[in-house]
Amino acid sequence: MTSSIRLQRFSQFLLKETTPNLFSSPQLLLNFRSHYPSIPFYSTSRILHNQDPKNTAVQWNLTIRDASATNPLKALSLFQQMLENTVESAPIYIDPFIYASLIKACNKAQAFLEVVEKSVVAVNCMISGHVRSGNPDLGLSLFVKILRGCFGSNVKPNYVSFLILIAGCVEFGGRKNGTALHCCCSKMGFDCNVEICNVLIDFYAKFGCIFDAATVFRDSSQKDLISWNTMIWGYANNGHSVEALTLFKELRNTNIGVDRVSFSCLISSCADQKDLNSGRMMHALAKAVGIECDISVGTALINMYAKCRKIACAMELFDDLPKQNIESWNTMMHAYVENGLAMEALKLFDHIKHRNLELDEVTVLGLIMACRDLGNLNHGIYIHSFLQSKDLLRDNTCLGNALIDMYAKCGSMTQARAVFDRIVKKDVISWTSLISGYAINGEGVKSLDTFKHMCDQKITPNFVTFIGVLSACDHAGLVHDGKNLYGTMKNVYGIEPQIEHYGCLINMLARAGRIDEARKFIGEIALEPNALVWRMLINACSVYGNINLGLNLVSSRTEPNTSHDSGDCVISSNIFAVAGRWDDVISQRNLMFKQRSPKVAGKSSLSCLTE
């Protein structure tokens, strides 16, 4: 019996059953297998056994319904897995509406299987369905079948096949496959197609291969505005702001012209580089061409001024922008948060509610960060409750991680742990947030226990995780554990220590009174210790009465009368005070009052772009 006939019979079987839940799960599974026994197995997110059965049923049903729209075979495979899960564990309530989705999936899969002479259009549709449903490897396998002639000698890939698959590599991280597809489309002569060139520029830029992206751009015989904007974005996003600006100038000299995307890319680059002069230059030009109040350009400018600590300029721009969508509100909210104005960010929330704008993940993240910075637990609980009432936190790991951090900064590790336990898909950030939370709240033992549990769960710690756990050892005085973890970081996980890790270990040794050991460690590390590390050591000398060593460290660090760093002045004056050298204390304090920031001379913002 062919696969298409089996699908047709199973579809008819479902249509006849108006009350399918009266069947026992084992019988329904047998009926399913008898009609279509060879569906390929698709992996899906694990349904935890300790969850509420009603929630588990909802997850299965929603997943199947979503898959039926884009990947019918996956929908049928997931249905089989659900039935097997029902047999092996507790019964699962099957939503009657799911059968409509299954019938639709049967019809869609049957439509492809029943085509005797498949065209490249039909195959491309299936490839696109696999890619859109998060299975790019299955789409690639169909592409390989085309190359092997499995669908007939007349079915060959066209430029659309490459567009779909390369775009899938961009979205799902297939750098090796994307490079291979580039070689293949070059051999088949599709690399001259402007759409192929554009997606290749985007592919290489997003993987940081900016030289390869520039090569594709340069070799492209036909460039449209998307080509230029994609390359400008690639330069800007990879830290090549000068090249991005140069390309922008070249674009302005063509007959293609620039648009709001061109401006937004460059302004965002200025924001990332904190390049206020270039940002102001772009603002002046945007104003000159009349797109200053465009939503995308305006929000990029607000973000740029916020990153450059010019919050008054950001506020002025925000007041002039139309307020119909949530994006400009989100940008202003995050601008307030980044500039230490958390209360103003929460005031924006009241305006958003008054305008009945729909909150998105960016809004929610900004609110959580504002509560974190305020350190006010009551604010945090109120926002958390509001978000729960609007169902804005469902299965969102990113927002869950932000809540853990917020509760930890507000001093409520009980709430932080409760949020952590409710996260279905915990990632390394979830664990790191909890570990760091325990550390900053002085619960070093719990921080270490959480780290060990994380490792037992086969979650690989990262650079930040070790900062958190080493900080926990530092504050809890767990020197032995801290030294062991430092060794584990290097020898087991292959993470090269940076100044943050060194600082934790040095401070841990210094606070424990092991100053000589800390000094020896400083002499062994690969990086030049920064000012903060030296201050830790000098401060320890003050605490433990090792005055001579402290004075020697101050002398070796810098000449007392030439230091221009306020932190150095403070720590130096402290050790001088302990030593009774009051003239030097007064000298250091006077230096702090003499520090001034020089002003930058102004100049025309249009001059550089009109040359």
Q: Which pLDDT tens digit goes with each residue over 196-217?
A: 999 999 999 999 999 999 999 9
Tokens 């039935």 found at: 83
Kindly state the DSSP code that residue 325 receives in the 8-state scheme: S
Q: What is the mean pLDDT of residues 359-386?
A: 90
Q: With CA atoms as reference, report the closest residue to 200 among 173, 229, 169, 222.
A: 169
The rounded mean pLDDT for the chain is: 78
pLDDT value of position 610: 36
> b/e for 190-228, b at 16 or more Cβ within 10 A?
bbebeebbbbbbbbbbbbebbebbbebbeebeebeebbb
pLDDT value of position 46: 42
Q: How far apart are CA 241 and CA 273, in angstroms?
A: 8
Q: What percent of the chain has pLDDT over 90?
A: 29
CB < 8 Å & 24+ apart, contacts of 343-346:
343/370, 343/374, 345/369, 345/370, 346/370, 346/371, 346/374, 346/379, 346/383
Query: Of the given ranges (354-358, 366-370, 482-486), which has the lowest mean pLDDT?
Result: 354-358
Range from 111-125, 494-508, 512-526 that averages highest in pLDDT: 494-508
Q: What is the mean pLDDT of residues 336-352?
A: 91
Cβ burial of 38 (10 Å; 0-12, 13-18, 19+) is exposed
* Whether the predicted pLDDT of 33 surpasses 60: no
Q: What percent of the chain has pLDDT over 70?
A: 70
Query: Of the given ranges (4-13, 80-89, 397-406, 526-535), which has the lowest mean pLDDT?
Result: 4-13
For residue range 397-416, list pLDDT tens digits in order: 999 999 999 999 999 999 99
Cβ burial of 342 (10 Å; 0-12, 13-18, 19+) is buried
For residue 92, name the pLDDT band (cuts at 50, 70, 90).
Answer: low
Angle CA 449–454–455, to nearest 5: 100
* Whether the predicted pLDDT of 531 surpasses 70: no
φ, ψ for residue 592, nearest 5 deg? -65, -35
More confident residue, 221 or 14: 221
- DSSP letters for 41-106: P-------TTS-HHHHHHHHHHHHHHHHHH-HHHHHHHHHHHHHHHHHSS--PPPTTHHHHHHHHH
* Whether the predicted pLDDT of 381 surpasses 50: yes
CB 95 within 8 A of CB 36: no
For residue range 448-461, list pLDDT tens digits in order: 999 999 999 999 99
Tokens 């100049």 found at: 603
Q: How far apart are CA 94 and CA 101, in angstroms?
A: 12
CB 256 within 8 A of CB 224: yes
Q: How far apart are CA 151 and CA 116, in angstroms?
A: 9
> b/e for 156-173, b at 16 or more Cβ within 10 A?
ebbbbbbbbbbbbbbeee
Q: How far apart are CA 548 and CA 555, in angstroms?
A: 11
Query: Of the given ranges (12-21, 401-410, 504-513), which has the lowest mean pLDDT?
Result: 12-21
* Whether the predicted pLDDT of 554 surpasses 80: no
Q: How far apart are CA 380 and CA 367, in angstroms?
A: 9
What's the distance, CA 463 to chain centroid?
Answer: 16
Q: How far apart are CA 495 and CA 77, in angstroms?
A: 40
For residue 601, name the pLDDT band (cuts at 50, 70, 90).
Answer: very low
pLDDT value of position 133: 73
pLDDT value of position 558: 54
CB within 8 A of 102, min separation 6: which ones?
Answer: 11, 14, 64, 68, 75, 76, 79
More confident residue, 146 or 20: 146
Query: Of the given ranges (42-56, 333-347, 489-503), which has the lowest mean pLDDT?
Result: 42-56
Domain extent listing, the chain: 3-113, 223-322, 336-425, 549-594
Do you know the residue count of the chain?
A: 611
Tokens 């899960």 found at: 85
Range from 387-391, 566-570, 571-575 that averages highest in pLDDT: 387-391
Q: How far apart are CA 232 and CA 219, in angstroms?
A: 16
For residue range 224-245, list pLDDT tens digits in order: 999 999 999 999 888 888 898 8
pLDDT value of position 100: 63
pLDDT value of position 446: 94
pLDDT value of position 410: 92
Q: How far apart are CA 256 and CA 611, in angstroms?
A: 19
360, two tokens = 């998105």
Q: How far apart are CA 577 and CA 570, in angstroms?
A: 10
* Whether the predicted pLDDT of 535 surpasses 90: no
* Whether the predicted pLDDT of 482 surpasses 60: yes
Cβ burial of 239 (10 Å; 0-12, 13-18, 19+) is middle
For residue 371, name the pLDDT band (cuts at 50, 70, 90).
Answer: very high
pLDDT value of position 451: 94
* Whether the predicted pLDDT of 358 surpasses 70: yes
pLDDT value of position 474: 87
> In a 3-state reduction of DSSP, which class is residue 242?
helix
For residue 604, name the pLDDT band (cuts at 50, 70, 90).
Answer: very low
**Dihedral sign from CA coordinates of 188, 193, 199, 204:** positive
211, two tokens = 């030289």
Q: How far apart are CA 401 and CA 419, in angstroms?
A: 8
> b/e for 518-528, b at 16 or more Cβ within 10 A?
beebbeeeeee
For residue 593, name the pLDDT band (cuts at 50, 70, 90).
Answer: low
For residue 128, name the pLDDT band (cuts at 50, 70, 90).
Answer: confident
Q: How far apart are CA 433 and CA 563, in angstroms?
A: 37
* Whether the predicted pLDDT of 583 surpasses 50: yes
CB 233 within 8 A of CB 249: no
CATH node for 223-322: 1.25.40
* Whether the predicted pLDDT of 273 surpasses 70: yes
